[in-house]
Structure 1
């Protein structure tokens, strides 16, 4: 039976779906986040370990005949793509020709649009604007990682909130952590002592920090002005990505996707308000891993 495995590897998890030729999902699950940042031996070894764990979980149901994987931080036609394809081929004992690996936005785009049809803006752990032309040429806006930008992302939201709380605490000890957003962050962090905060922030990865954005959204639900302002600015940052693409490829429908965009309605409202052209905005969620799996099931 020709089964297809779809992999959607984002900053917080690697989601997978296994489907049959008819596109029916037979099994699904998630493992640790995979990344295309294979710039060291340690990173490659980590990718091998996670891929092995993924293979063990998938093959409990069946062995895929083809794999389509969208992986964050990976660029096509690079050494990292070849390495990742080789890692998956070894883990699943498949010829590399039966494995298609691309950046996660490639798969996400095709989940919403035909080639060249629309613009994708993603706000999750990171952020990016993405357009895939009719001849499969990608235009990326942003997506440069949290060390450079990732404006409007979950990581960005968490960082802005932490910065504001800590600066308030420095100016007037006791006033930062007692604000609604400070209280919500302290609960998520496990305390307010600098050693506790530092261990959380610098002892984990960007995905873990990005999860703190949920605490900011919780505070915003209480009407906290600081949290609302940060989330509003996040929507504006995401709109900048869309506007840059609209100026380059012309007005097209825009899909606003990713868990970070669903944290609070003010993000989507600010996004729409800042768009430079009157275009349709799609804000429904589509299962990118399922899209990838159904494409994989068609591999001959």
Structure 2
């Protein structure tokens, strides 16, 4: 209710033009009523049809255009908000499911792990050997900490990928690598490839954050291959590998990259999916 009440008083262009239209209509009516008392019927018709009607229809069309744009803008904003809400809920659900699995694992194997640790100390081995086994054992014993550490790193990389400047930087590196390669692609294909790689970067961000690959949508991530040329797989591979190498070597992300294999796995997954799609398209050609 509060949001509706606030929205009622928001000053938008359509509100201004509707007010203007009301004043204009009143002015036309006023002027028409003050025409000479005995105007000819011909003058009345001219004034009525070519004056008030033309202005009224023009104003309505103008208002309709403004209102339509505002509705589109509000719809886009609401859609974007809804997508963010869905993503946030999906992330929370994923965290809850993982937490549940972790707790179940610890509950199921806690006693076995304690018994195993006791058996290690009973072994007739040197202290150095025992310490090495215990060290490895402790690493296996704490999957939660390992998972949480990896998830934290994944979130940091995803956060970096979420910044527009960083996405533009990766896209530029990717497309420059394609341009400097031996791949021969026309402008139409290059334009679609540019859009596809941009979508792939967005896909990478969400997949790294989730720790698992999101659905691969060919029309979204490989439309240059589907609509223009099935043989553009090499260009995709060059572009995606350029992104991987940038994340691996640049100062801002290389330390994070070393701590997780998720980025490498996700990019390779994209390359494999696009290669498989390319092979299917080529084999289906007459």
- Length-normalised TM-score, structure 1: 0.27
Return the structure number with greater relative CO, CA threshold 8 A, min gap 6: 1
> Of Structure 1 and Structure 2, which has the larger fraction of its residues in strand?
1
Give the TM-score of the pair, scaled to structure 2.
0.28
Task: Name the structure where helix makes up a greater proportion of residues.
Answer: 2
